[in-house]
Amino acid sequence: KGQVAIVTGASRGIGKEIALKLAKQGMKLAIVGSSNSIFQSAEELKQKGYNDVIAIQADVTLEDQVNTVIEKALNEYKQIDLLVNNAGVGFFKKVEETTLDEWRKVFDVNVQGVFLGAKAVLPHMKERKSGTIITISSDVARYTIPNGSAYTATKYAVQGFSGSLAQEVREFGIRVGTINPGMVDTYFAESQQGLEEKKDWLKVEDIANAVVYMASAPSHMMIDEIVLHPFVQNYPI
Ligand code: NJP
């Protein structure tokens, strides 16, 4: 209660629900999205009675904008306890049909965005000798799928990044973990949330609950990774 979280990609889908669940835990929020629908997300939280929320329109791929997010959150709240790197994009195509621009875009958001967020918040967390950085990765970081080479590669990358960072910042009391969901019913990859054909997929609440659990672990406990997938999704490992 009274702690401060930054949630990226909170305009819709998983990030929006993470913001709501963290607000219900009594956290103060800075929510981030690249489109102006991030302001609508903040408005909805306020309508539900959660007034400690600021919306920041920023693109996680751009260093100056990410730095501004951290500055604005610190100006408003004086501390940051939790960064949730949730913003992400994906597409599913064969390698020879993937353009270099598409490859770059998915790496820029899913990998560079995570790096920039962590880099920007770490000086503050190191100074306070506490903090948690959670990245929404994917179960594809644990195996491989056809037609998902670019997306899969980004999630393996953030897995490696997070594991390495966790060891680097351990001495400062900072915890770093990933949440690796299977198929979740959202707007991801140009889909729609709530489609009948996705009724048995994970719900945004499932991922948000995992974030709350990981973020609220007692200080003697470290959760490195939570892997979860719909029962109907056959796990190939
Ligand atoms: O997707 P979606 P999800 N800068 O499309 C934002 C992972 N995941 O909730 O920029 C800042 O509904 C965008 O907002 P806006 C996935 O890889 C998913 O499913 O305003 N924000 C929106 O709020 C990703 O890491 C599944 O348009 C940017 C949000 O990101 C995370 O879950 C499975 C941005 C995307 O909402 C959330 O994805 C899995 C930028 N440059 C992992 N670009 C799944 N859904 O099945 C995008 O294993 N956003």
Annotate 54-83 with b (16+ C-beta within 10 A) or e (fewer): bbbebbbbeeebbbebbebbeeebeebbbb
Q: What structural domains and CATH numbers belong to the chain?
A: 4-228 (3.40.50.720)
pLDDT band at 53 (very low <50, low <70, confident <90, very high): very high
Q: Which entry of 151, 187, 213, 235 is annotated as an active-site residue?
A: 151
What pLDDT shows up at residue 120? 98
Q: For residue 76, give both structure tokens.
A: 């408003």
Which segments within the chain are labelled E, that is strand?
4-8, 28-33, 53-57, 82-85, 131-136, 174-181, 225-228
Distance from residue 171's CA to the centre of ligand 1 (Å): 31
Atom of ligand 1 minimally distant from the CA of 35: 20
What pLDDT shows up at residue 143? 85
Check whether 237 has a pLDDT greater than 60.
no
- Could you give the ipTM of this predicted complex? 0.99
Q: For residue 115, give both structure tokens.
A: 């790096």
Q: What is the percent of the chain where pLDDT is above 90?
A: 95
Mean pLDDT for 182-203 is 96
pLDDT band at 236 (very low <50, low <70, confident <90, very high): low
Distance CA 91, CA 72 (A): 32
The answer to whether the CB of 37 is under 6 A from ligand 1 is: yes
The answer to whether the CB of 69 is under 6 A from ligand 1 is: no
This prediction has a pTM of: 0.98
Please state, in angstroms and as integers, the Cα–Cα distance from residue 57 to each residue in 33, 42, 137, 190, following that order.
Answer: 5, 11, 22, 21
DSSP 91-131: --B-GGG--HHHHHHHHIIIIIHHHHHHHHHHHHHHHHT-E
Mean pLDDT for 101-124 is 98
- CA 164, 83, 229, 227 dihedral sign is positive
Mean pLDDT for 57-74 is 98
Clarify whether 151 is annotated catalytic. yes
Mutational pocket test of ligand 1: of 184, 207, 227, the residue with most ligand atoms within 8 Å of the beta carbon: 184
Please state, in angstroms and as integers, the Cα–Cα distance from residue 104 to each residue in 1, 96, 131, 140, following that order.
Answer: 39, 15, 30, 19
The answer to whether the CB of 142 is under 6 A from ligand 1 is: no
Q: For residue 4, give both structure tokens.
A: 């401060």
Q: Tell me, what DSSP letter sits at residue 52?
A: -
pLDDT band at 144 (very low <50, low <70, confident <90, very high): confident
> pLDDT averaged over the chain?
96
